[in-house]
Amino acid sequence: NRQILLASRPFGAPDPDNFKLAVTDKPTAKQGEVLLRTVYLSLDPYMRGRMNDAKSYAEPVGLGEVMVGGAVCRVESSLNDDYKTGDWVVAFSGWQDYCISDGKDLLKLSDNLPYPSKALGILGMPGLTAYMGLLDIGQPKTGETVVVAAATGAVGSLVGQIAKIKGCNVIGIAGGAEKCEYAVNTLGFDHCLDHYADDFAEQLSAVATAGIDVYFENVGGKVFDAILPLLNSCARIPLCGLISQYNATELPEGPDRMAMLMGSLLVKRIKMQGFIVFDDYGHRYAEFSQQMSKWLMAGEIKDKEHLVTGLENAVDAFIGLLAGKNFGKVIVRVGPD
Ligand code: NDP
């Protein structure tokens, strides 16, 4: 049983030395438990926060503990009446080949899913995040302008496509020409801008001619600086993530923008609301799942997976995710079906 442990806490961007590969005996299930074999492991930006020894909405991973994470697993053996060998489940089982569960926190998937890994992306946590953040907090209306960054990623790609279904003008922001081209030509966004361009802020104001009504915040930093002056009165900001800051070790350079931010929120009556997806919207999973499956099956929404093969490659893939090297939802293929 291979496990990837947190070996030390990163200062800034994580590096491979912060992780350690350990090999233990394969665990065995006791009465009431199941033995799970990880098939697909999800890598997500929130894992960076769990590497810090800081209080947040969830406990940090302890030094020497297995890195946390959601996974799609097969039940390899079962002493629990609710599960049988071969069942597909979603488990919060972490970066490892095998784990034991008492079955309480598992989500059973149907037997004949064509692509079980989608339960970690479009039909799972990132999908729920995009759907609820945009529709419940963003409240987009036909004809409004919606902007989303990390636009080809797990969450952003879905936000933009749902906004198109709702009849909005959608502007994506992504890193590099290839991602931008994909957002427009494959995902159907109206525009997509490269945040690495020197004149990114000017380009944004040139395409957001009617201002911005909904900004789905995934990244923060200089992208938000460019967004703020373009927000319309009564704009909504679902505050989902701030990935540009996750590896930051100090406050950004330049003048303090807090007064400007608060002044804009006040004068323009902007609503900015953070959310933690399962805490706030876990109870609406069924509603989301039904709608998103329908869109997916009808070809109205597309998803893209960035598939990495082998648990041993999870560390590099995770470091790359924080640096924008992924193109789509990052999934690690850990074991065979
Ligand atoms: P993605 O698949 O979008 O991957 C992360 C992407 O972030 C990178 O590919 C990169 O895209 C972009 N990025 C990284 N650094 C920067 C930077 N400095 N400036 C601008 N963009 C950057 O990840 P997810 O879709 O899984 O997550 C997106 C956001 O949503 C994250 O902030 C995450 O923490 C948050 N989230 C929040 C949840 C909640 O409950 N609140 C739940 C799930 C996710 P590019 O190359 O295009 O710049």
Q: What is the pLDDT of residue 54?
A: 87
141-166: average pLDDT: 98
β-strand pairing of 19-23 with 271-274: unpaired
From residue 33, alpha-carbon distances to 30, 190, 337 in Å are 5, 50, 21
Residue 237 has pLDDT above 90, yes or no: yes
pLDDT tier at 57 (50, 70, 90 boundaries)?
confident
**Contact indicator for 314, 43 with CB cutoff of 8 Å:** yes
Percent pLDDT > 70 in the chain is 100
Q: Among candidates 302, 240, 315, 228, which has minimal Cα distance to 274? A: 240
Residue pointed to by tokens 């395409």: 207
Pocket of ligand 1 from Cβ distances under 6 Å: 44-46, 126, 129, 149-150, 152-156, 174-175, 179, 195, 218-219, 221, 223, 240-244, 275-277, 321, 324, 326, 329
Q: What contacts 251, CB < 8 A, 6 or more positions away? A: none
Better pLDDT: 56 or 294? 294
The predicted structure's pLDDT at residue 215:
98
Minimal-distance CA residue to ligand 1 atom 33: 241
Atom of ligand 1 nearest to the CA of 176: 46
Atom nearest to 329 CA in ligand 1? 2
Supply the residue whose CA is at minimum distance from atom 10 of ligand 1.
324
In angstroms, what is the span from residue 241 Cα to ligand 1's centroid? 7
- Please compute the mean of the pLDDT values over residues 32-60 and round it to a whole number: 95
Residue closest via CA to ligand 1's atom 4 equals 153
**pLDDT average, residue stretch 16-42:** 97
Kindly give the number of the ligand 1 atom that is closest to the alpha carbon of 44: 26
Q: 163-207 pLDDT, tens per residue? A: 999 999 999 999 999 999 999 999 999 999 999 999 999 999 999
Phi/psi of residue 129, nearest 5 degrees: -60, -50
For residue 147, what are the β-bridge partners? 171, 215
- Average confidence (pLDDT) over 214-229: 97
For residue 55, pLDDT over 90 is answered with no
Distance, in Å, from the CA atom of 193 to the CA atom of 173, rounded to the nearest integer, reads 5
Cα distance between residue 302 and residue 287, in whole Å: 19
Rounded to the nearest angstrom, the distance between the alpha carbon of 219 and the centre of ligand 1 is 6
Q: Indicate whether 227 pLDDT > 90.
A: yes
Whether residue 337 has pLDDT greater than 80: no
Please report the ipTM that was assigned to this predicted complex.
0.99
Residue 113 has pLDDT above 90, yes or no: no
| 77 CA → ligand 1 middle, Å | 36
Q: pLDDT grade, residue 336 (50/70/90)?
A: confident
Q: Ligand 1 pocket test: pick from 225, 243, 245, 249 the residue with the most ligand atoms within 8 Å of its Cβ.
A: 243
What local confidence, expressed as pLDDT, does residue 252 receive?
85
pLDDT of residue 110: 86
Judge contact between 218 and 153, C-beta under 8 A. yes
What mean pLDDT is reported for the chain?
96
Query: Which pLDDT does position 128 carry in this prediction?
Result: 98
Protein residue closest via CA to atom 18 of ligand 1: 244
Q: What is the per-residue pLDDT for 60?
A: 95
Query: Which H or E element spans position 203?
Result: helix 200-207
Strand ranges inside the chain, DSSP E: 2-6, 19-23, 34-42, 71-78, 88-91, 98-101, 107-108, 145-149, 169-174, 191-194, 212-216, 231-239, 271-274, 305-309, 329-333
Cα distance between residue 165 and residue 236, in whole Å:
18
What's the pLDDT score for residue 105?
Answer: 92
pLDDT attached to residue 254: 86
Phi, psi dihedral angles at 143 (to 5 degrees):
90, -10
Residues 6+ apart with CB under 8 A from 152: 172, 174, 179, 182, 183, 187, 304, 327, 328
Element (H, E) at 179: helix 177-185
Q: Two tokens at 336?
A: 């065979």
Domain architecture of the chain: domains with CATH: 2-121+303-333 (3.90.180.10), 126-278 (3.40.50.720)
